[in-house]
Chains A and B, each alone.
Chain A
Amino acid sequence: MATVSKSSQSHDMGLHTEKLTNRTQQQFFDAGESANFTYAWAPEVDTNKVGTLDCEGMDPTDINIRLRELMAEGCGTINLSNPGSMHGLCVGILNRLQLNITGSLGYFGCGLIDGPNVNISGRVGWSCGENMMAGTIVIEKNAGSTFGAAIRGGDLVCKGSVGSRTGIDQKGGTIIVGGKTGAFTGFMMQRGRMIILGDAGMNLGDSMYDGTIYVGGEIEGLGVDAVPADLNDLDRKWLKSKLDLYGMEAPNGIDNMQKIVAGKQLWNYDNLEPSEKKLVL
């Protein structure tokens, strides 16, 4: 009964009159309006001004607050040391910044970032770069599972190997793995690109909706609705320039990489209410 009551109440409040499609923002660009390159609220930083942060004895909240303080002081480069594999470090940075981390991060490192360039000398735990929006993250060693979960933009690079479910729910951006990746890589991927230079585990690209996965090694098995496609010249040009950026190479050459895309057999759009369906079908 509670459900019925809530439903009735929401109708009475007019919540179901909202048009759910075509939600265009009636705002128009003014090309001459702005010449900013960073968000209006982001502090101006100078990459030549270097800040240091020794994390020894600090907790993650204090570290993240201190990072913001350093940026507010104008530091465009921050050298962070002794992260001690703590979880949730360096998250939510919405500014341009060169962040050099000496050591390893725990779970959810560098999540939700929008702009910074991050170098990590060690390893990272689960979900590094989760919900990343823009910028670059380069990890010199290995990474855990769900690497780049729900990433929306930017380059997320692991020069070593990563665990399973890499790029799960990826919505954009580029994930590059120098070594192997585990099972269910690209699970429910929606868009963006993934470059795996080594081998890929079973169920690669399972239930992927869209996006592209390039694999340089062997594929243990494709997931549901993941299908091979042909590399084109634009792919090759883009792969070369992207790998060159990070000093990486395809072990068997770019021409021999496999390209995996969505078969699009699982697409199931439906605007009709159940009662309308009965009329149509």
Chain B
Amino acid sequence: MSQDVDHYLNSDGLDSDREKMIGQTIGYRYDVNLVPDMDRCTPYLTEYMDKMNWKDLNWLEDVHMGYEEDRAAVFDRNINGWVTIPDTIKLPDNQQDRDMIARELLLKFQMSENHPMVQLREAYAKF
């Protein structure tokens, strides 16, 4: 993981000669192997875990805050794309708390009736 938590917000992330040559960051822009610190879990996520009868974050363990086009974003696997986090949300100064925010926002987005999957499902679902 980058030494600076804002590294990908404040720069293009092209650090090595190879990255500069190909114009692309090599590897993820966040630590995909970082396991969550449950002491930082938000009340909303705790309520979600209770509802699903899970004792931990389950699939949300793999959700991290990432950085796309120099903005904070989270990857939504259901639409195969990044969803940008509004500038109005103040980002904490560490990755663990940022990841918890990303999980909460992604969950609310996915479960919303405005999520693109709702329209896609209406159009294409077979079952």
- A and B held together in a complex: yes
* Interface-facing stretch out of A4-12, A25-33, A102-110, A122-130: A25-33
Report yes or no: B83 in contact with A25, Cβ–Cβ below 8 A: yes
A24 contacts B68, CB within 8 Å? yes
- The interface-forming segment of A160-168, A250-258, A263-271 is A263-271
A182 within 8 A of B: no
Indicate if B113 sits at the interface (CB-CB under 8 A): yes
Which residues does chain B contribute within 8 Å of A154, judged by CB atoms? 58-59
Contact A27 B84 (CB under 8 A): yes
Contact A210 B33 (CB under 8 A): yes
CB distance from B108 to the nearest CB of A (A): 5
**Would A21 and B83 be within 8 Å (CB), given that A172-B62, A234-B35 are in contact?**
no
A261 to B51 CA separation, bound complex (whole angstroms): 33
- Name the B residues within 8 Å of A36 (CB-CB): 108, 111-112
**Interface residue A135 (Cβ < 8 Å from any Cβ of B):** yes
Interface-centre pick from A23, A27, A29, A173 (highest chain B CB count, 10 A): A29
Q: Cβ of A269 and Cβ of B22 under 8 Å apart?
A: yes
A115 to B52, CA, bound (A): 7
Counted as pairs of residues, one from A and one from B, with CB atoms less than 8 Å apart, the total is: 150
* B73 in complex: contacting residue of A24, A115, A173, A212, CB < 8 Å: A24
Q: Which of A199-207, A220-228, A238-246 touches B?
A: A238-246
A191 within 8 A of B: yes
Is B9's CB within 8 Å of the partner chain A?
no
- Verify if B15 is at the interface (C-beta below 8 Å from A): no
The residue that B24 contacts in the complex, of A96, A241, A269, with Cβ under 8 A, is: A269
A36 to B52, CA, bound (A): 12
A33, A37, A234: the one within 8 Å of B37 (CB): A234
Q: Is B90 an interface residue (CB 8 A)?
A: no
Count of chain A residues with Cβ under 8 Å from any Cβ of B?
60
**A73 adjacent to chain B (CB < 8 Å):** no
**CB of A159 within 8 Å of the partner chain:** no
Q: Check if A29 sits within 8 Å of B86, measured CB to CB.
A: yes
Residues of B within 8 A of A38 (CB): 51, 111
* Chain B positions near chain A (C-beta within 8 angstroms): 21-24, 26-28, 32-38, 47-48, 51-56, 58-62, 68-69, 73, 76-77, 79-86, 89, 104-105, 107-118, 121, 127
Q: For residue B112, give the distance in angstroms from its CB to the closest CB of chain A.
A: 4
Q: Are A47 and B110 in contact, with the CB atoms below 8 A?
A: no
For this complex, 18 residue pairs linking A to B, each with C-beta atoms less than 8 Å apart, are A25-B116, A26-B84, A27-B84, A28-B84, A28-B86, A29-B89, A29-B105, A31-B105, A34-B111, A96-B51, A96-B53, A115-B52, A117-B52, A135-B58, A153-B60, A211-B32, A234-B35, A238-B36
Contact B22 A28 (CB under 8 A): no
Q: Please name all residues of chain A whose beta carbon is closer than 8 Å to the beta carbon of B105 when the two chains form the complex.
A: 29, 31
Q: Which residue of A lies closest to B102 (CB)?
A: A29
Name the distance in Å between B6's Cβ and chain A's nearest Cβ.
Answer: 19
A3 to B94, CA, bound (A): 51
Does A23 lie within 8 Å of B82, measured CB to CB?
yes
- The answer to whether B113 and A152 touch across the interface, beta carbons within 8 angstroms, is no
Name which residue of chain B comes closest to A114, CB basis. B59
Cα–Cα distance between A39 and B116 once the two chains are bound (Å): 12
Q: Does A180 contact B (CB under 8 A)?
A: no
Q: How far is the CB of B90 from chain A (nearest CB, A)?
A: 12
Extra 14 A-B pairs, beta carbons < 8 Å, given A136-B54, A267-B27:
A25-B116, A28-B84, A29-B105, A29-B108, A31-B108, A33-B112, A38-B111, A40-B113, A117-B54, A153-B59, A154-B59, A173-B59, A234-B35, A237-B37
